[in-house]
Each structure stands twice: as structure tokens, then as C-alpha cells.
Amino acid sequence: MKKNIIITSLLALALLGIPFGCADRLDIKPFQSQASDVGLKTESDLVGTLIGAYDGLQDTDSYGGDIMLLSDLWANRAHLRFRGTFAGLVQIASITNTSTSSVITTDNAWARDIWANAYRTINIANLVLENLSLSVGAVRPTNTVQGEALFIRGSLYFELARLYGRNWQDGDPNQNLAVPLVLTSTPFEENKLTDANLPARATVAAVYAQAKADLTLASTLLPSSNLHYASKWAALAQLSRIALMQGDFAAALDASNQVIQSGVYTLAPAFNDLWFNFINFGGVAPKEYVFYMRMTQQDGTNGLNTYYGATISSIPGTAGRGDCDVQTAFVNLHETADVRRGYFQVTSRRLSRKHLDRFGHVPVIRLSEMYLTRAEANFRLGSTTGDTPLNDINRVRNRVGLANLAVVDLAAILLERSLELAFEGHRLHDIKRTQGVTLGSSATAPNGPAWNSPKLILPIPLREIEVNKKLVQNEGYQ
Amino acid sequence: MGQAVSVRVRGNSSISASNEPLYVVDGVPITTGSQSNFGGATNPLVDLNPNDIESMEILKDAAAGAIYGSRAANGVVLITTKKGKSGKTQVTFNYQTGYSESSRRVAFANSEQYATLLFEGAKYLDDANGIPTNDPGSDTEFLNGFFDYNSYGQWAANKTKTYEWQDVVFQKGAYNQADIQFSGGNENTKFFASGQYLKQGGIIIGNELERMTGRLNLDQKVTDWLTIGMNMNFARTYNRRLPDDNAFSNPLQSVALPPLTPNVIPVGQPGAGLPAGTPPGDLQIPIYYNPQITVDYSRFAQESFRNFSSSYATAKLLPGLIFQTEFGFDVLSQTEEGYFQSQTRRNQTRATRGLGTNRSTFIMNYNTNNYFNYTKKFGKSDLSATVGMQYQQSSTRTNFTEGLDFPSDSYQKIASAATISGGSSTETQFRFLSYFARANYKFADKYLLTLSGRIDGSSRFGANNRYGFFPAVSAGWILSEEGFLKGIEVISFLKLRGSYGIVGNSEIGNFPQLGLYTGDASYVGIGGQRPSQIGNPNLRWETNKQFDIGIDFGFFNNRLTGEIDYYNRRSEDLLLNVNLSSTTGFNSVVRNLGSLENTGFELVLNSQNTVGAFKWNTSFNIAANRGKVLNINGQIITGGLAALPNRVQEGQNIGVFYAPEYAGVDPANGDALFYKNTANPDGTIDRSTVNNANYSQAARTVVGDPNPDYVMGLTNSFSYKGIDLSVLFSAVLGNDISIYGLGQYSSANAIYEDNQTADQMARWQKPGDITRVPQARYYAGNGNQASSRFIVDGSFVRLRNVSLGYTLPKSLLNRVKLDRVRIYVTGQNLALFTSYPLWDPEVNADSFDSNIAKGNDFYTPPQPRTILFGINIGL
């Protein structure tokens, strides 16, 4: 009996002692994440972080589709009806001048998510830019890494300024507010967050200047060809867009002409070759894409496909909610022979065929845009840099089965632009910069809100206003 | 089925950390988090056979829970399984069969009403736009075409034909369950063994559950000072699952489909005879995806193998001193396998040539308790003391593979997929290390005192604050033992008790203390990483201070017994997911911040109304809890639907609904109105109203509270000779539910083409109409925005259970050599009394359920009404 007790006591102490002696058992490291103090230590980590920034840019909330989607849906009922049930998109699509119209509420999910994902991605780009010293150029040239991060940050600031701030020509860009400028990465420790992490809105001029500076520097750092990543020409193409928004036609001309004359990109022979990248071409992107978000079966969601596309029985590989119903009035803008006039899939709705492919890429910039930009800039400046506006327009026309025009005017150039680039995210910004008027919903109310209406600017998201008292709400949303 | 349930012991004690109680089965804290990766959350407790449970004890106050320390902040549910008894081996056999069906339907518009509403909306729009309704470009004409297209061309000919989509969705599910139990043993060896088979069909198409469990509990006296034992339980559960509620493929969402769309493709159309929308039929009909296609042309099965086992050894070291060591495992091995045929491709957009998924989850949770217990009697004093330690480690590993492009739908394993489109493996872990001590002292069988303390360490905190100390004290006074009450015959038992203690909560997910990168940010085949979390190295335990005072009583020879309790629980250093400005690149961070309080009363009464041949017992309980957020430093914390969120707000209960207040309909023009509710300069509230155009000017305010005021239960049981009857009513009063999930589409005066609940027929039609339903306006917002219009009272009284049984007389049984035969019939959820407009007020939306997001209905199916016939035989 006594012996047993001794044995049992020893056993008991041993059992108690195993975990007692191992208090550090509670100190465990995560298995599928990296702690922030070890996650960014090498060049491979740096390039991996840059890839993470591309992943953010590819998100449907950014260039994966939504940034472009809003531009075509917004106050465009006569040409494009939104027949889905996402309240946030219904609000944006139903904006008209009539009192019955929907309003965009400050909790609009698209206003919230586009903002949040852009800043999430900008934070990653900032991390890359702050840690360039890790690069020795073995994995990827240091200049390329820097240029790509600048391209991503500059592009997003440009888009944010256009969506959340007044147009460049609308009042004083040095007074009008755009979005906060965050140019340093956020600390990883809660106790290091400061008031600087609750920034106020910067002016439209300041945000444009930042975007221009980022993209200009990027255009000098990036290589001429860079797979599906940002190239020198992608940066210049973005600069041409900024210049157009600012009415700086000389800069727009210079940038677009450089992209065209680089010779890296060529117009696809047939309009249909630009689309169905996966279904018809196994994922090979056309030579016309200057910058695009690449989709694979493993990665990425084509956000334009989600709303413009639909599952068509006769075309395996198509998908989408079929929410965007193109109206007859838009079709009738096309000449009869125009290939684009027939580029629709008719179900109970009329859907653009551009975005039917479930795994199709999302084009951000195509070469034809550069021709249209060069034509417009040359026309406005009375110059013929690169080529005449007439020749540039006829290039775009010929590809869709249309005969040459004999003369062009600004209206013809802008019409061609709206037909060629329809449903690719240009419409609203083109209306704003040309100080046009959006479309109303009917014959008696042909006009929607004017180019400078506060109804064509997103609200600062309610969620952000609630956590950051320094943010001032946009007009019409107070 | 096998869905998760939320259990709240005395209100919500936390905001971001878990509010679920700790479940302990035979000493082992078990895995209770949902492991579902498809559809709604599931509850791993489903793997436990309820018939194996000997007792279930809920530890509510701090003193009772203190031995579980940090883990007890939300209460502890102690489950003890049955043990064998020495003597003749008892064999019990039980069989139940019956069915379940939907207990309630919601009235939706018929085809005529549906078309009327939409045409009214379209006419409004056409008038506003100045387009004649017969113009080809008018919305009215569009709808004419739409109705025709979506009815396979049949609407024009027959405008009254209505197809009831709820009929397609709901089914009668068969229920069959067989049990066998053996129990017995001798002086030294005791055993309990059981087996169960259950097969249950869901009340919604495509849902099915099958479970097999087996158990062996064995206790062996090895020597006069050593006893060892082992409890072993294994279970296999097969669950054919449905998509979660926020999915077009959720069968219940088909109520949104137009009532004029046939359920089955009509003769003469491609795909005739198949469910609407099935290829080769037109994929664009119905307007939304028909969930029946997913039921027919895909499968998604969750199959889990579960083993809870624990062993123990108890050694008597010295007189009064024992040492007990317990070691337990809870192993969950689960696979979820799905295959979506090409017919589902409108919904599973990548399933053009088939989509297969396979996910396995392996959770290994082990626990050891080692403690000494000493008991001693001296004079009138009884002393018992315990000291020991506990260590728990739980690791979760998952694997995932997804494949596309199968040769045909005959091949459904990913081995046949031409494209591997996704794959992943994950691992995470948590550990707890604790030391505890407790002493109970009793004097003269009248005065009771317990002191306890526990030190808990958790891997979820940084090194600085890893350990917390959680003490508790409780005292009791049995007044009925005092001389001055001894003589009073009415009082058979009277006890006063009180306790105070501190417990902790660390249920916030793993690794919140660390800033993190996550490597899931690849782009086009190149791996990438992203910052995924801001860490908080100073995080510490959320603490919960609990005070409880109560009376236990028995009157009239204990024919009337009961308990009355008052408690106050105050949670401090709340572990909060605090919203950050998104300009940081992050949405939230975990902080210790603020406090909240729960106060409540509980009353339990048990009465033997009649004794003798006819027995009638009544048991009644009522609980009232008032929660209040005291301080969260002005943070904004929300959950649930973004537009109509549940919110945490100082001075309010957790999860109150926050939206503009609906002011009804302007009788002049049918506009939906909202109260501005903004503060005037003089401090009064502006009660003027705005319509849709100025909706943003209407201030959001608290418009409802999902937490009930009272929860009640009433059981009456009767028995006479061999007949027994038991009737249980349960009631929840004073809680609000948001129906915005469905309401924004289907109770929104026909803004979209979704079918409308029948109550929308009360819409405004002409000047002077007084109604709460605004004018129908097609694709033009008119009251569809979030507001108190969609907050409704969720109070209900439910006839939860009625059970009628008959035990055959012994005289009869002796002849057939049986110990006991009882036949019975049980009905669950036979009646529901409520004003709630949708299926069932007992809601918890799959997609939005969280600590904060309670009381949201998002196409949530009703509780099943189940009728079972059973027989119980004892050999």
C-alpha cells in the first residue's frame, strides 16, 4: 500500500509537472500568416508584396470592374437600364433630374467598398515604396518594382479623385476637396496608430498632382514591355487620361502619341477578337490591350462580367447576372453597317457581348482609346501630331466595318469614342470633362443632371465619416 | 439541419468576443465552433447522442463557473453521460418514426395581384417620364414583354394562373430513429453501452441528415485505492446541405420568383418537363436562378467522424485525499464534398463543364485535468479543498481542392477534373494553461462558504498580459435548519445564497496580438502577400464580474419548490473589434475597450398540483435580462446588414437596430415618409418628415432591440395509471426582428420584379388613401430604403412539445417477459401564436449571424413541425 502511494504520488507530480514546466507552450506562432516583423525582410517578400498590390487592383471593387461599371451606369437610363436588385447600383443607375428619382445614400455599398479597397491597395503600394532598399534586382529590377507600385498608387488616386471629388473644371480644384492622401504605410501595431491615421481630405489639385507625379515617375522607371503588369506605356496612357480630365490637350496628345508610336500594341483586326479572351483564345490577351486585369480559372473575378454578362445557353463559358439592359436608343446611335451595332446578345434583355466571358480579362486601357484621344487632342489643338484626326478616327471605324469619313468634327470624334469604348468605364468622365449633360429617362425629360451636378459625385462613405471626424461630406449628402 | 444555435446564458457578456457558453462533456471542453464551409453554420454538438446524456447542468453564476475560470464568462454547460450501475443488465430499446414539415407559410401575391402591382409601378414611372403606357419604349410595355417571356409565353392567354413556389420548396421529411442501451456491472466493473441510428429528412427539398453513434462508458475498480475508467463515443454524421440563405440557390429564395413563371417547363418548350430554367431550356427563365436546379443537379454533403473520449484515474492517497487525473480527446474529422453539374451554371458560374469541391477539416482538441481533492470532517465542520491544473490544446487543419472541366457529369471526383482551379491548406491553433484551487467549507449543515481562484493563460494574448487571475467567493445559509424556522410546517426548505466572482473571456479568434501578413494575394499565378491585420500586443483578458443572490425554497412538504435569482454581470476591458478609418488599409482592430452590464431576474417554480393516482405537475420558469452597453469610447461597432445594421451603442442593449424612423405614407401622393429626428438648435427633436429624395436627411436612430424582455417556459405533466401526458409551452416576449433581408425586395411595394408578400396589396393608390404601404414605383425607391418599416415585433408563444404515452401494465408484460413497454406519440411545434409576418420568429440568418447581428430574417425557414410515434421496450 505504502509503495503504491509513493508511485502514484510521483506519477501525479510528473503529470502536473509536464505542462507546468512548459509555460512557453502558450507562445505559438501563426501557421498560415507571417508576423509583421518577419513578413517583409527579403527581396522576394518585397516582390510578393507588390504582387499583393496587383491583387488589390484586380479586386472587383477596383479595376476588376466596379470603377468602370459606375461610369457607364450612372444617370444613363435612356441608354442602359440596370435591372438587378443591388440597391447600391440601382441608386446610381436611377439618378435623373426628376423628383421621383432615387438618391444615392451615404451607406451606398459601392461608395464604401471602392474607397476601402483603393486605400487597402494604396497601403500595400506604400509598403513596397518604403522597402525598396530590400531589392537587389535579382528577382525583379528595382526600377520596375518602384514603377509598378507608383503606377498602382497613382492610378487609384486618380480614380478616387474623379469619383469622390468635383470635376477639375468645376470651380477651383485648389479649394475643392477630393480624398485623403496617404503616402506612408500604416503601422502594424495598434499602439502606434496616431491622429495621422485619421487624415482629412486633400484638394482635387493635390490629389491630381500626386497621381501625376506617381505616374510620371513610373513612366520613366517602367520597362517598355512587362507581361501583363504595368509598362511604361500603361503609365503614359494613364497620364493621357489625367491630361484629358484637366483639359490639357497638349499633354494628352503627347502621352497618347507616345503609346501609339511605341509600336508595342496593335489594333486587333476584328472587333470580336478583343473579347471572349478565354472562350475563343484560351486566355491570350489581344495585342491591343495596353493594360488589363488578367483573369484565370484560379484567380480573379471579372466584375464587368458579373453585371453585363449572363449565362447564355448556346455559348458555354458565359456567365453573369444579366443586369445591364442596353436600350434601343443606344443601339440607334450606330450606323447600320457598324459591327458594334450588332454586338449584343438578346435575351429578355439586350446585353453587351463585350463582357459575356466568365474568365475574360478586364481591359483597362486599349490602344483604340489612344487613337481616339490623339484624334481629339490634335483636333482641339489644330495639329496633326502622329497622324490627322481623320485618319485616326477612320482607323477605328474601318475595324468595325465602317467606311472612311471624309471630314471629322469634334462631335464625330466624341461619338466614335462613346461607341468604341462603351461599357468600359469612360462615359461619365467624358461627359464631365466635355461639360455635357447626362441623359434623362424620357422624351419629356431628355436631360439628366448636368456635368457638374453633385448627384454625379459619390458620397464620402458613411462608415468613414463616422470613424473620422475630419472628413467633410460632399454637397447633397449632408 | 444540424444548424448552429446560439445559446445565451444570462445575456450577451461580450461584443466582439464569443458569447457562446463552454460545453464540457465528461470533463473535456469540446469543439463547438461551426466547421461549415458551405451554407449556414453547423453545430458540432449534433454528433452527441442526446439519449446518452445522464445530466446537463448549466453553471450560470461566477462561483459555480469559477473552476472553469476564463472559460466560464458565458456560462458552462456540463454534460455528463450515463454510467453503468451494478446489478442485472438493463437493456432498453427505443424506436421512433414520424415526419417533419414546415410549420408555417407566408402569403405571397398571386399572378393577378403581382401584375397589378408592377403595372401600377410602371404606370407611375411612364407618367412621370411623359411616355404613353402603350409606347413601345414604356416601362409598361417592357413589363408586358417581361411577363410573357417569364411565363414561357403563357401569361397573355391566362393571366390568373398562379404557381406557388413555396409548394416546390417545402417537403415532408421522414424521421426515423432507433436506439439501444445496455447498462450493468458488478462491484468492480460497471458499464454503459449504447448505439443510435437516426435518419431525418429536412422540411426543405434537398436537405437530409443521417447519424450513427456508439458509446461505451466503463468504470473499473482496480484496487481499493485506485479506480480507472474510460468513456468512448464515436459518431458518423452525414448531412446533405443546402446553400446558405443569402444565395439565389437557397430554396426559400424562390419565393421571390414571379408567381406567373411555371415551376416546370411547359410542353412544347425546350427542356419540357424539367424544373424551370434547366438546360436545354432557356437559362434566363425564371428571372432569378431556380434553386430546384441546384437540388436536382448538384450535391453537397458534409460527412463527419467524431470521437469524444476521456479516461480517468482516481487514487485514494491518504484518508480524505484523492488525486484524479483526466485525459480527454475530441477528434473531429470532416469532409465536405460537392459537385455541381453544368445545369447549375447560371448560379455556379464556373460549372460550365462541372465543378467539384472537396474540403477536409481535422480538429484535434485535447485536454488534461489533474487535481488533488481533500475532504475532512471535524466537529460540526466539513472541509473540502481542490488544487490542480488544466491544459487544453486545439489545432485545426483544413485542406481544400476544387476542380473544373470534367469529361462528363458521370465523373464527379476531382481526379477527373481537367483544371484544378483552387486548392488550399490551413492550420491554426490555440492553447490554454490554467491552475486552480477551491475550498468548500460547511458548518453545522447550515452555513456554506466557497472560495476559489484560477490563473488562466491563453495563447491569444501577447507575453505581457497572457495570464489572468480569476477569483470567486460564494456563501449560503440554510435557514430552514435554524431553530426559529424548524417549527413552521409550511416551510420545508429555505436557503439564501450569494456569490461574487470574476471570470474572463478570450474567445476572439487566434493571434489577435500580432500584426500579420497573409499570403493569399496572388495575381496570375504568382504568389503575393498583403497586410491582413493590425496587431495589439497589449491585449488582455476581457473580464466579467458577476454578482448573484438567490433564494431556494420548498413549501408544503416540498410540493411547491422553486428558485429566485437576481444577478448583475459587468463585463470590462471588452475585447472589441473597433472600426478603423479605411484609409489605413484595414477595417478594424481588436482593442480592450469599454464595459457593458447585464442585470436580470430568474424565477423557477415546480409544483405538484395533485398527488396520488392522478398526478399533475406544473413547472414554470421566467427570465428577464436587461443588457446595457455602458461605455465604448464613442466607437462605432456594427454587424448584420450594412444598410440596416445591428449596432453597439452606449446606453443601449447590444445589437439594437439602427435606421431612420419610418413615418408612413403621405396620403396626398403615396410618398414614403421618414422622420428627420435631427436635433433642433433648441435641443428639441425635429419630427418633420422627408420623402425619398431627402432620405439622407433623416437621422438614423435606434428603432428596435433584438434582445427579448422575457423568456418563459411552462410545462404541465399529467399521469394516470399508465397514461402520461406532457405539454410544454415556450414564449419569448419583447424582441424585435428585422425583416429587411427579404423585405427590401419582397415587401417593398414592387420596386423590383420580385414577388411581393400579399400585405403589399394595401399600397397607396389614390390621393386620400391612408395606409402604411407606399405607392408602387417600379425601379424607383419609395420606402424600400432601410427604415423602421422593416422592424417588427418578434414575440411569440409556441406549443413546443406535446407528448402522450402509455406504459403497458406489469401484469401484461410479465407474461411476455418484458420489464417495461411504453408507446408514445410526440408533437413538436404544433402551434405558434405570433404577429410575426414571415415564416418564423425564431430567426438567425445564416449569412449575418454574429454576436452583434441578432434578429435578422433573411429568407430564414420555419421551425419544423414534427410528429413522432415511438415505442420504448425494457428487457
Q: ipTM, 2 decimals?
A: 0.93
The answer to whether position A4 is within a domain reads: no
**Residues B581, A469: contact at Cβ < 8 Å?**
no
Same domain, B516 and B391: no
Please give the grid coordinates belonging to residue A8.
502514484
To the nearest whole Å, the CA of B726 is away from the closest chain A CA by: 48
CB B169 within 8 A of CB B862: no
- Integer Cα distance of A437 and A136 in angstroms: 52
Kindly determine whether residue B368 and residue A328, on different chains, have CB atoms separated by under 8 Å.
no
**Domain membership flag for residue A87:** yes
CATH code (residue A82) = 1.25.40.390
The CATH number of the domain holding residue B359 is 2.40.170.20
Across A67-82, b (16+ Cβ under 10 Å) vs e yields bbbbbbbbbbbbbbbb
Buried b (16+ CB within 10 A) or exposed e, A43-60: bebbbbbbbbbbbbbbbb
Three-state secondary-structure class, residue A253: helix
pLDDT at B9 over 60: no
Q: Please give the sequence-ordered ranges of beta strands (E in DSSP) within B534-594, or none if there are none.
A: 542-555, 560-572, 575-579, 588-592
Residues 772-831 of B with CB under 8 A from A: 777, 779-781, 784-786
Range of the domain at A330: 43-307+317-467
Q: A135: how many CB neighbours lie within 10 A of its CB?
A: 21
Chain centroid, CA B828 distance in Å: 18
- Is residue B450 located within the same domain as residue B519? no
Residue B702 pLDDT level (bands cut at 50, 70, 90): very high
Q: What is the pLDDT of residue A245?
A: 98
Where helices occur in B765-874 by DSSP H, the ranges are: 810-816
H/E stretch holding A367: helix A367-381
Q: Given pLDDT bands bounded at 50, 70 and 90, which one contains residue B695?
A: confident
Whether B525 sits inside 8 A of A312 (CB atoms) is no
| Cα A167–Cα A171–Cα A175 angle in degrees, nearest 5 | 95
Specify whether B218 is located in the same domain as B326.
yes
- pLDDT beyond 60 at A371: yes
Q: Are residues B408 and B532 in the same domain?
A: no
Contacts of B431 in chain A (CB under 8 A): 25-26, 28
Phi, psi of A413 (to 5 degrees): -65, -45
Nearest to B528 among A30, A54, A105 (CB): A54
Instruction: Tell whether B728 is covered by a domain.
Output: no
Residue A431, in any domain of the structure: yes
Suggest the residue from B141, B461, B582 to mutate for an interface test with chain A (most A CBs closer than 10 A). B582
Q: Do B584 and A1 touch (CB under 8 A)?
A: no
Chain B segment 630-659 residues within 8 A of A by beta carbon are 636, 642-643
Tell me the CB-side half-sphere exposure of residue B291, using CA atoms within 13 A.
26
Residue A112 in any domain: the answer is yes
Are B406 and B524 within one domain? Answer: no
In a domain, residue B841? The reply is: no
3-state secondary structure of B605: strand
**Confidence band (pLDDT; 50, 70, 90) for B849?**
low
Local confidence band at B75 (pLDDT 50, 70, 90 cut-offs)? confident
Measured between beta carbons, which residues in chain A are less than 8 angstroms from residue B429?
A: 28, 31
Q: What is the mean pLDDT of residues A397-423?
A: 97
Residues B391 and B311 in one domain: yes
Chain B neighbors of A40, CB-CB under 8 A: 517
* B347 assigned to some structural domain: yes
Q: pLDDT (tens digit, 9 = 90+) per residue, A176-215?
A: 999 999 999 999 999 999 999 999 999 999 999 999 999 9
CA–CA gap between residue A84 and residue B753 (Å, rounded): 9
Q: With bands split at pLDDT 50, 70 and 90, how would you rate the model's confidence at B117?
A: very high
Q: What is the pLDDT of residue B72?
A: 66
Same domain assignment for residues B402 and B524: no
pLDDT band at B5 (very low <50, low <70, confident <90, very high): very low
B353 close to A (CB below 8 A): yes
The whole-angstrom distance between A468's CA and the closest CA on chain B is 6
Other C-beta atoms lying within 10 Å of the C-beta of residue B682? 5
Whether residue B41 has pLDDT greater than 60: no
Q: Is residue A32 part of a domain?
A: no
Residue B816 domain flag: no
A124: nearest CB among B530, B580, B744: B530
From A111's Cα to the closest Cα of chain B, the distance in A is 12
Greater confidence, B845 or A390?
A390
- Could you give the number of structural domains in chain A? 1
Report pLDDT for B4. 41
| Whether residue B370 sits in one domain with residue B517 | no
Report the phi/psi class of residue A427: left, alpha or beta, with left for phi > 0 and alpha for psi in -120 to 50. alpha
Give, for B396, the enclosing helix (H) or strand (E).
strand B381-404
Residue B797 lies in a domain: no
Tell me the pLDDT tens digit for each residue of A329-364.
Answer: 999 999 999 999 999 999 889 999 999 999 999 999
Residues 147-206 of chain B whose Cβ lies under 8 A from any Cβ of chain A: 149-150
- Confidence band of B39 (pLDDT split at 50, 70, 90): very low
**Closest residue in chain A to residue B372, using alpha carbons only:** A12
Q: How far is residue A118's CA from residue A70's CA, in Å, rounded to a whole number?
A: 15
C-alpha distance from residue A199 to each of A106, A250, A459, B586 (Å): 19, 34, 17, 14
Region B507-526 average pLDDT = 89
Residues of A in contact with B368 (CB under 8 A): 15, 19
Residue owning grid cell 469614342: A417
To the nearest 10°, the Cα dihedral for B128, B130, B131, B134? 80
Residue A285 DSSP label: P
B199 in the same domain as B87: yes
Q: How far apart are CA B528 and CA A44, in angstroms?
A: 10
Q: For residue B246, what pLDDT band results from cuts at 50, 70 and 90?
A: very low
Give me A362's grid cell. 478586364
Interface subset of B 696-725, CB within 8 angstroms of A: 696
Nearest Cα neighbor of B648 from A187, A466, A205, A22 is A466
- CA distance linking residue A34 with residue A40, whole number of Å: 9
Residue pair B554/B481 in contact (Cβ under 8 Å)? The answer is no
Q: Nearest-CA distance from B426 to chain A in Å?
A: 6
Domain residues for the domain of B201 are 22-93+172-249+289-506+541-573
Local confidence band at B226 (pLDDT 50, 70, 90 cut-offs): very high
Task: Give the Cα separation of A178 and B583 in Å (integer).
Answer: 13
Looking at residues A293-319, what average pLDDT do you find? 93
Judged by CB atoms closer than 8 Å, whether chains meet at B517 and A39 is answered as: yes
Q: What one-character-per-residue DSSP string does B472-529 give?
A: EEEEEEEGGGSHHHHT-TTEEEEEEEEEEEEEEE--S-S-TTS-EEES---BTTB---
B426 plus B521 within the same structural domain: no
Q: Contact, A433 vs A244, CB < 8 A?
A: yes
**pLDDT exceeds cutoff 50 at A3:** yes
- What DSSP element (H or E) covers B152? none
Of the candidates B287, B116, B274, which has an alpha carbon nearest to the alpha carbon of residue B778? B116
A478 inside domain: no
Is residue B816 over pLDDT 50?
yes
**So what's the pLDDT on residue B48?**
76
Tell me the mean pLDDT in the region A33-62: 96
Within B289-354, strands assigned E span 298-318, 321-340
Q: Which residues of B touch A202 (CB under 8 A)?
A: none
B457 chain-A contacts, CB cut-off 8 A: 23, 26
Residue B534 CA to residue B516 CA, distance in Å, equals 7
- Give A420-478 pLDDT, tens digit per residue: 999 999 999 999 999 988 877 655 566 788 999 999 999 999 999 989 999 999 998 88
CA distance A31 to chain B (A): 6
Same domain membership, residue B559 and residue B428 = yes
Q: Which residue matches cell numbers 453564476?
A: B61
Structural domain contains residue B451? yes
Q: What angle do CA A44, A46, A48 make, to 5 degrees?
A: 70
- In the predicted model, is pLDDT for residue B873 greater than 70? yes
CA distance B305 to A102: 53
- Quick one: pLDDT band at residue A2, thresholds 50, 70, 90? low
Mean pLDDT of A396-411: 97
Angstroms from B217 CA to nearest CA on chain A: 24
Residue B718 lies in a domain: no
Q: What is the mean pLDDT of chain B?
A: 88
> Kind of pairing, strands B381-404 and B516-518?
unpaired
Rounded Cα distance, A183 and A200, in Å:
13
B23 contacts: CB under 8 Å, gap ≥ 6: B29, B30, B32, B45, B76, B77, B79
The amino acid present at B414, given as its one-letter code, is I
Among A238-247, B231-240, B522-531, the range scoring the smallest mean pLDDT is B231-240
Helix axes A232-246, A142-164, angle to 10 degrees: 20
Q: In this structure, are B185 and B230 located in the same domain?
A: yes
Q: Is there a contact between B389 and A466 if contact means CB atoms under 8 Å apart?
A: no
C-beta atoms of A25 and B433 within 8 A: yes
Q: Do A33 and B695 touch (CB under 8 A)?
A: no
The answer to the question of residue B331 being in a domain is: yes
| B517 contacts in chain A (CB < 8 Å) | 33-36, 39-40, 49
Instruction: State the pLDDT at residue B20.
Output: 66
Q: Which residues of B touch A58 (CB under 8 A)?
A: 523
Q: Answer whether residue A474 is part of any domain.
A: no
B464 touches chain A (CB under 8 A): no
Q: Please name the member of B131, B282, B587 whose beta carbon is closest to the beta carbon of A442.
A: B131
How many domains does chain B contain in total? 2
CB half-sphere exposure, B331, CA atoms < 13 A: 11
Tens digits of residue pLDDT in B14-32:
555 555 677 888 877 777 6
Distance from CA of A137 to the nearest CA of B (A): 17
State chain A's mean pLDDT as an integer.
93
What's CA B394's distance to the chain center, in Å? 23
- H/E stretch holding A32 reads none
pLDDT of residue B22: 77
Task: Extract the C-alpha cell encoding A89.
Answer: 447600383
pLDDT of A366 higher than 60: yes
Question: How far apart (Å, rounded) are the C-alpha atoms in residues B78 and B365?
Answer: 17
CB neighbour class for B639 (10 Å; exposed up to 12, middle 13-18, buried from 19): buried
| Residue A7 belongs to some domain of the structure | no
Touching A: B residues 367-396, CB under 8 Å: 368, 370, 372, 388-389, 391, 393
What's the count of helices (H) and strands (E) in chain B, helices before strands?
A: 8, 41
Say which of B317, B368, B393 has its CB closest to residue A5.
B317
Q: What is the DSSP string of B398-465?
A: EEEEEEE--SSTT--SGGG-SEEEEEEEEEEEEEEEEEEEEEEEEETTTEEEEEEEEEEEETTS-GGG
Q: Please give the Cα distance from B577 to B595 (Å, whole number).
A: 14
What 3-state class would DSSP assign to B345? coil
Q: Tell me: pLDDT of A29 over 80.
A: yes
How much is the average pLDDT of B450-477?
88
B109 close to B756: Cβ distance less than 8 angstroms = yes
CA distance B324 to chain A (A): 8
Name the residue of chain A whose CA is nearest to B591's CA. Answer: A190
Q: Do A197 and B280 touch (CB under 8 A)?
A: no
Residue A119, min C-alpha distance to chain B (Å): 5
Residue A410's nearest CA partner among A451, A382, A453, A380 is A380
Closest-CA distance, A340 to chain B, in angstroms, reads 22
